[in-house]
Chains A and B, each alone.
Chain A
Amino acid sequence: MTAALPTVDEALLERVRAALEALTDPEIPVVTLADMGILRDVRAAADDPAQVEVILTPTYSGCPAMAQIEDDVRATLQRLGVPGRVVTQLAPAWTTDWMSEAARAELRAYGIAPPGRCAAPAVGGAQVLRFVPRAAADEEAVACPRCGSTHTREVSRFGSTACKALWQCLDCREPFDHFKPH
């Protein structure tokens, strides 16, 4: 005897959405996948209305957390007893501009400076390098997540994960991660 499968109606989708929206990023456990902009959609599959389709979009191509995120989504569906599948959608490409204000506030409280708005790239995309003092560079100042000072410097453009850079506050002297605008 098998239990009857639930039909995928709005009420079920709402229940699935609520469960999935509670999932957090494995690398940054204070922000949810929804607030990160990684969880794009939860819907009935077009080719099989008895299945739920969860649309995820990767952040960086090589983000090692994506496999864990997919596993977490599958485990959640299984826990709810809902047949479903994960679909990775690349277009449009994820950008940090999709992160909600809630996510930015959570990051700051967690000690990670949230990303500024993505600047429009120069025509052709190539960036000619200029060694100029930071104040003169046309980049947004990054505020220290601990003391709020914008008197900060970039220590390394590459940090603990692909999405973060290493910064230091020149006032409170604390080093901190900065989520790169991407």
Chain B
Amino acid sequence: MDAVATETDVRIDYLLHLGDNALVLAQRNCQWCGVGPVLEEDLALANQSLDLIGQARLLYQEVARLEGGEATEDTYAYWRDAHQFRNYVLLELPASLPRVGYAQGDMDWGVTLARNFLYSALMVPLWDALQASRHEPLAAIAAKSLKEARYHLRHASEWVVRLGDGTEESHARMQAAFDHLMPYTQEFWTASDFERAAVQAGVGVDVAGLRDAWRATVAATLQEATLRLPSDEGYVPQGKTGLHSEHLSHLLAEMQSVARAHPGAQW
């Protein structure tokens, strides 16, 4: 019995990690809804958030099925607290250069697109590899999500090149965005216990094996954008294990407020 339970736990943690990544980035990018720089880009980010929320829902539904209790997809989105989320810290950071807590800062389009680029450049090869997951529902979700991730990568790459190889101002701001975000990508390659266990079980993918492909994509696009590839050294965040920045709680407080003010509400 224990072996079975453990195997299920491994899948649950891994699926939550993938789902939390999608949900948290979707929530971040939704902040552009209604205030995007131009209407088309407002729609672009809202559309991509819709894809990501859809991916998160599929993953959470699968977790609910595995747990077999009362939980639904909403339980995972609205009723867990920051330390229970397993997303990369990169995805919860405000869409601006470094700031603290509620400090106000202008939302930065360059930071938003640099982040989307770094994340989707990972998710394209990751979803691709996950199509071979031994956990069939995950393989099916991966096949679906891969097509969407390709679209997101293309959109972000275009903006990285347009702004990097743009004006002096846009170039400097795009470079600052990558300088700020690049160290957070170290979390991609530092496997957590549940990732190691998921790889062992044939459920997950050893992300370290995707690092070269990711670096090649990033280096080629940054070169085309006339940007310098920044160092990714420094503090290694551990959002996957529940150790988040202060920003996740603020993000969740906003996202969860309606569900928590009206528990069980239906419309």
User: Could you tell me if B153 and A62 are in contact, using CB atoms closer than 8 angstroms?
Assistant: no
A124 CA / B216 CA spacing, docked (Å): 11
User: Could you tell me if A129 and B224 are in contact, using CB atoms closer than 8 angstroms?
Assistant: yes
Closest to B223 in A: A128
Closest to B127 in A: A125
Closest to A118 in B: B147
Min distance, Cβ B127 to any Cβ of chain A, angstroms: 8
User: Could you tell me if A158 and B54 are in contact, using CB atoms closer than 8 angstroms?
Assistant: no
* Residue from the list B44, B50, B221 in contact with A60, Cβ < 8 A: B50
CB neighbours of A125 from chain B (8 A) = 124-125, 128, 146, 149-150, 153
Chain B, range 1-54, C-beta contacts under 8 Å to A: 40-41, 43-44, 47-54
- What sequence of 0s and 1s flags, for each residue 95-119 of chain A, a beta carbon within 8 Å of any chain B beta carbon? 1000000000000000000000000
* Residue from the list A58, A156, A182 in contact with B44, Cβ < 8 A: A156
Instruction: Please tell me if A15 contacts chain B, counting CB pairs below 8 Å.
Output: no
CB neighbours of A22 from chain B (8 A) = none
- What sequence of 0s and 1s flags, for each residue 135-150 of chain B, a beta carbon within 8 Å of any chain A beta carbon? 0110111011111111
Closest to B46 in A: A158
CB neighbours of A158 from chain B (8 A) = 40, 43-44, 47-48, 155
User: Could you tell me if B50 and A62 are in contact, using CB atoms closer than 8 angstroms?
Assistant: yes
A93 CA / B147 CA spacing, docked (Å): 9
Chain B, range 136-175, C-beta contacts under 8 Å to A: 136-137, 139-141, 143-151, 153-155, 157-158, 161
Instruction: Please tell me if B121 contacts chain A, counting CB pairs below 8 Å.
Output: yes
Instruction: Please tell me if A132 contacts chain B, counting CB pairs below 8 Å.
Output: no
The DSSP consensus for interface residues of chain A is loop
Given contacts A90-B141, A158-B40, contact A129 B158 (CB under 8 A): yes
A61 CA / B221 CA spacing, docked (Å): 27
CB neighbours of A126 from chain B (8 A) = 121, 124-125, 150, 153, 213, 216-217
Min distance, Cβ A93 to any Cβ of chain B, angstroms: 4
A92 CA / B136 CA spacing, docked (Å): 11
User: Could you tell me if B40 and A90 are in contact, using CB atoms closer than 8 angstroms?
Assistant: no
Chain A, range 53-70, C-beta contacts under 8 Å to B: 58, 60-64
Instruction: Please tell me if B220 contacts chain A, counting CB pairs below 8 Å.
Output: yes
Q: Given A62-B55, A155-B40, A158-B44, 14 more contacts at CB 8 Å?
A: A58-B144, A91-B139, A94-B144, A125-B124, A127-B157, A128-B217, A129-B157, A129-B161, A156-B41, A157-B155, A158-B43, A158-B47, A166-B40, A182-B147
Of the A-B pairs whose beta carbons lie under 8 Å apart in the complex, a sample of 8, sorted by A's number, is A61-B144, A62-B55, A91-B136, A94-B144, A124-B128, A129-B154, A155-B40, A158-B43
> When A and B form their complex, which 8 residue pairs have the shortest distance between CB atoms, in order from nearest?
A62-B54, A61-B54, A156-B40, A91-B140, A62-B50, A90-B140, A158-B44, A93-B143
Question: Taking beta carbons and an 8 Å cutoff, which residues of A are in contact with B?
Answer: 58, 60-64, 90-95, 121, 124-129, 131, 155-162, 166, 182
